[in-house]
Amino acid sequence: VTRRVHQLRPVNAERNAFPMPRGRGEERAALTREVRDAFARLTRQGLDPNDAAALALKLAAGIAEWPLDVPAFLGAVRRCTDVSLRSGEKLSEHLGVSDAIERVFSSADALNSSFIAPSERRERSDGSGEDDGGDDDSLSSEETNPPLDPATRRVRDALKLDFDELLDVYQAIESLGSLFVGILLASFARLLESFGDGPTAWSRAGHSLIRLVLILLECPALIEPAHFDVLGSLLKLAASLPTSAKDALVRCVRACYTRERFTRTLAVVQQFVTVRVFDARRRGGVDAWLEHASSFLRVLWRANAAAAVRGGAEKGADERPYAFVPLADFRVDAVNGEGFDAREDYRRWRRPDLFTFSFCDFPFVYDQVAKARILQLESAMLQAHVFEQYALGSPFDRADACAVSDLACPYLKLDVRRDCLLADTMRQLTYHVRCGDIRKPLRVRFVGEEGVDEGGVQKEFFQLIAPEVFSKRVGFEWDDETNRCWFAKGKQPWAEYELAGVIVGLAVYNGHALDLRLPKVAYKKLMGERIGLADLRDVAPWHHNAALCLLRCENEDEVASFGFSFSASYVDAVTGETECVDLLPPCGEETRVTMANRVEYVTRYAEWYLVDSVAAQFDAFRGGFDRLCSGQTVRMFRPDELESLVVGAPSLDFRALQANCSYEDGLEVDDALSRWFWDVVHLDLTEHQRRRLLCFATGCDRAPVAGLGSVRLALSVNGSDDARLPTAHTCFNHLMLPRYSCREVLRERLTTAIENAEGFGLQ
């Protein structure tokens, strides 16, 4: 600091033609002392020496404000509430506090130099410190906060933000009442206005801007709708930051936030979005504030995802995902309710040339039911477009590949025999894939049956075809322990895997659930997510457990007892021969697994088992799936959501089905027949029989992704003969019951019908 001040003084004053007056020299000396004193004071407060030097010069020049003296400020706040003080003394304290708030919270320099965290407090906040000797029943810091890797810890140390001290100041200001909170928010507004847009502010302030954003976000008053104008300006600044600045913000949130702080910030932004959605609905449009807030939600989403990835233990397959919050916590109820116009939001998304914002660009705000609704909307629009194309267009363009009569038909027709279901389906789908008309609206007919497909026939078709396709006959191997199938290793015909993918894509495209037993890792691979050791558990539990045992070994002798080398073997599903593979070419079989390389071994083994060994098979499967589900809408789903979309809801809530049931043709909800029916369903039928009933009435024994509460079952009366069996129109979820004479007759007739029903019409 002394050197920087002395540079202002002539090297040799006596040689100057115009020597400096004595008073000027005294001013320079006073300036030097002032800068030195400021530098010493700032460094004692924990400021970095370089930052302290720069701020000391600004303070001496009168172009910056002092950082907040937190102990003195909190003491002044306490005196403001001291009933023993006289009115004049209280007024003086109030004015001092008000001046400090305005001075510090409207100045970027002062605010950035305040709330410097001591190093020991930073060490206690990262979830990696030593046990504090607390109660055994209390949560450890690791259970409260995600652990930090060294790179993230360096980001936190560079930020030096004392959140505890900051929150103390905010709470102290709130304790003084709304007047002082208003002064604080007005200071925020002036500070944000001085920044301008994100790129300008970033070029001027650099990484210190990230610190300011985090300081302002911590203010509890921002959750009040009355202050959403200030919150909106803050979110606008954060949303307009350049990509590199947003990346830095993600790292800082990951480094400095606890789960509690992350949850609170997420709730503040979500409430802001909710209020703006309802305001936009009243005005009949959307505003820029929604785009800014959604963009900041993406920053939080990325930080949460980074916490999950970085928190994974190197050795683990059983580790918790060390994210701040579950992914479902990012959903915004206002865009998932019935009042939200998902169709309009989808339309805006598909027209980026006309609209700049759609929630579809931020899929984490949607739940899986809303995403499924959007996907069904897209499929219906696409099918209508294809139908119109084939109904009105010329079929001769591709007549060289397929029959003209087929190309002229606007439907994808599958005529299948129940006793040759797999062969008929594979043959006809191969034909339609070659023709390129696989996206037509689907119509299925079972040969020799009278059923007309208005949705119910194809539901049963998908129920029957899935077990046929995902079997050993097609090239899938089953694990008896997990009751799940996986791609067989070897040189199988890849075309069959492609058609298996087409079946799954066709079901999703037409809105039907499948009885599909693929493990979760298959959906992760379809979504392009990273695969790790943990994913081996659902495919090959024995291999997964062996890998965990290897990683838990404590010495070389234990590792050597496994006798592992960097190689793997498998039985070719086609030839039946045992094949060996090098996991570490060119001499993996000769490289023994040791304590030093065991992590690399299990990583390579999991990669080989789940990816490399079935690469050709899975690529063919994904190619078939993508023929129908390659659009952006499918990419909105997370792997677990895609699984629910494919296989339906995991549980069957028949109480919800009853609550949504309608009664027709004179049948009322309080009629004896209605009461008997639901009593039998809830009290007499087994889980298997309930599934059979669901299949009998709707054509599918699985609930859609929204659950049975979204199925509109219709009950009606059909005659009064005790000898007649119930009948159903599966296309319309319509179950018809004769008006039986008693409950026992109804139970016997209903169970007979559901246990013996197959086919449509008379056979």
Instruction: Report whether 375 contacts 510 (CB < 8 A).
Output: no
* Tokens 């087929």 sit on residue: 406
- Pull the structure tokens for residue 563: 């006798």
Q: E strand or H helix at 443, and its extent? A: strand 442-446
Q: Per the structure block, which two tokens stand in for 502? A: 């087409």
Is 213 exposed, middle or buried (CB count within 10 Å of its CB: 0-12, 13-18, 19+)?
Answer: buried
Helix 228-239 to helix 288-311 angle (10° resolution) is: 60
Measured in Å, how far apart are the chain's first and last C-alpha atoms?
A: 99
DSSP-derived secondary structure letter, 745: H
d(CA 195, CA 201): 5
- Tell me if residue 731 is catalytic: yes
SS3 727: strand
Neighbours of 675 (CB within 10 A): 12
Do residues 737 and 719 make contact, with C-beta atoms less than 8 angstroms apart? no
3-state secondary structure 578-593: EEEEECCCCCHHHCEC
Determine which helix (DSSP H) or strand (DSSP E) holds 142, and give its type and residue range.
helix 141-144
What tokens does 344 get?
Answer: 């309009």
Buried b (16+ CB within 10 A) or exposed e, 386-420: beeebeeeebeeeeeebeeebbebbbbbbebebee
Indicate the SS3 state at residue 209.
helix
Q: If DSSP codes are grouped into helix, strand and coil, which group holds residue 234?
A: helix
Cα distance between residue 4 and residue 57, in whole Å: 9
Q: Are strands 714-717 and 734-737 parallel, antiparallel or unpaired?
A: parallel
Rg (CA), the chain: 34
| CA distance linking residue 130 with residue 182, whole number of Å | 42
Identify whether the C-beta of residue 275 lies closer than 8 Å to the C-beta of residue 296: no
* Catalytic member of 252, 695, 731, 742: 731
CB atoms within 10 A of CB 346: 20
CA distance 303 to 296: 11
Strand partners, 264: none
Q: Which residues are catalytic?
A: 731
